[in-house]
Structure 1
């Protein structure tokens, strides 16, 4: 893929998806969130389908993406009785680190819409898809993924950052649901959510430290044998 095409695909995820979500909020007044969720999932798949088109060998990478998405979904369901303490962000972060930013975004988006089959779909689903997608995308940036592979401190720092980002974007959704949208209300929501954000941070760090070795080694072995990272380029 050429440099310009890579930039276009990245803009589609980072800019196109939030514009699509905002369109759903203001055009459909959040009533058609299922349609928006499906559209977000389709847009998240476009960079991957574009890269994998006409390459039979890339079927393995698609299978790996499906497996990691399933692990993330099952993990969220398994820890369903523990509020806010979930392994989803950790799996998405590791997916981005070891597979790449586009794959990280896709796994994050699929994790949200897939796990909400059990937790309930709603207007929050597209925001969750974008939030976890962006966490995977950021984790897959080359200089970030390199640092996190080499040093658990940077990995933990990324986990903490992801917990904060998750709260900030989801509280943005909460703010937009009020008729009188204001920065003051947004700030109050962030302050009120501080204890929950702390749980996000702690759970992300714990799950990252526990899961990095098994998931990381598995993906590295597959990459050494089949070159899955080269497939995604």
Structure 2
């Protein structure tokens, strides 16, 4: 979706600016900030709406995929970092593009935290899962994601990148003065959780990549959903 790359970049810039505010806001106003970032995630959708009318079934599709990604966290609540969310976001972006992937990832984080609990970490999760979808959508036509090994490797790497992004929020939220020792300790402590996330991404991508992708492709072609112009 080359025509929507600029709106996506604008949305990404708003997200980064919003995350920068968390250094000052700490644990205050995170709900308002999350809603602002949700609006930012929808910028590409608003641009598409201006350029051509969105069909109701396209909006329903985005809502359903976001809901599936959000609800998929609940059965695995007892297993920290072991969730199918990233895999669902990656495969959705692989079929429907970066625009859809970014929206699905960001919305899934916000909606799922209605169950898991909202907090100052929510905007960071929205950004991280949005970036999972954004990068998968931008790379979906490359040799990397066209091969099964490349797709699984992509999911494995994002298991660590997701945790590293969340570590930034953790470091900012600590009352201790910043030090590289604190950074090293934080990233070392998160290794097990990041590895678990990476392994779960590989597992769920292995299970879903075949049937899930075919079903979404069939819907996209049959009904002309979210087609590139």
Q: When the two structures are superposed, what TM-score results if normalisation uses the length of structure 1?
A: 0.90
Deviation of 1:55 (Å): 4.1
* SS of equivalent residue, structure 1 residue 140: helix
Deviation of 1:195 (Å): 1.1
Aligned residue in 2 for 1:69: 66
Q: 1:184 to 1:202 in 2, by over 3 A?
A: same
Deviation of 1:83 (Å): 2.2
- Aligned 8 A contact 1:69 1:110 in 2: yes
**Is 1:9 matched up with 2:7?**
yes
Deviation of 1:7 (Å): 4.2
Aligned residue in 1 for 2:83: 86
Aligned residue in 2 for 1:153: 149
Q: What are the Cα deviations for residues 32-88 of structure 1, in whole angstroms up to 9, with x where unaligned?
A: 000000001011011112103474453222111111111111110121122221100
The farther-off stretch of 47-56 and 181-190 is: 47-56
In the TM superposition, 1:146-225 aligns within 5 A as: 146-147=142-143, 150-179=146-175, 180-225=177-222
Structure 2 unaligned runs (5+)? none
Aligned residue in 1 for 2:123: 126
Deviation of 1:144 (Å): 4.0
- Aligned 8 A contact 1:167 1:193 in 2: yes
Deviation of 1:146 (Å): 4.0
The farther-off stretch of 40-49 and 13-22 is: 13-22
- Aligned 8 A contact 1:76 1:88 in 2: yes
Structure 1 unaligned runs (5+)? none
Deviation of 1:217 (Å): 1.0
Distance (Å, rounded) in 2 between the aligned partners of 1:183 and 1:51 = 44
Distance (Å, rounded) in 2 between the aligned partners of 1:229 and 1:149 = 20
Larger helix proportion of the pair: 1
Distance (Å, rounded) in 2 between the aligned partners of 1:214 and 1:10 = 29
Deviation of 1:188 (Å): 1.6
Q: 1:25 aligns with which of 23, 40, 44?
A: 23
Distance (Å, rounded) in 1 between the aligned partners of 2:158 and 2:141 = 14
Q: What are the Cα deviations for residues 129-164 of structure 1, in whole angstroms up to 9, with x where unaligned?
A: 0000001100001x4444355311001111111101
Q: When the two structures are superposed, what TM-score results if normalisation uses the length of structure 2?
A: 0.92
Distance (Å, rounded) in 1 between the aligned partners of 2:12 and 2:40 = 11
What number of residue pairs does the alignment pair up?
228
Q: 1:95 aligns with which of 87, 92, 95?
A: 92
Deviation of 1:219 (Å): 1.4
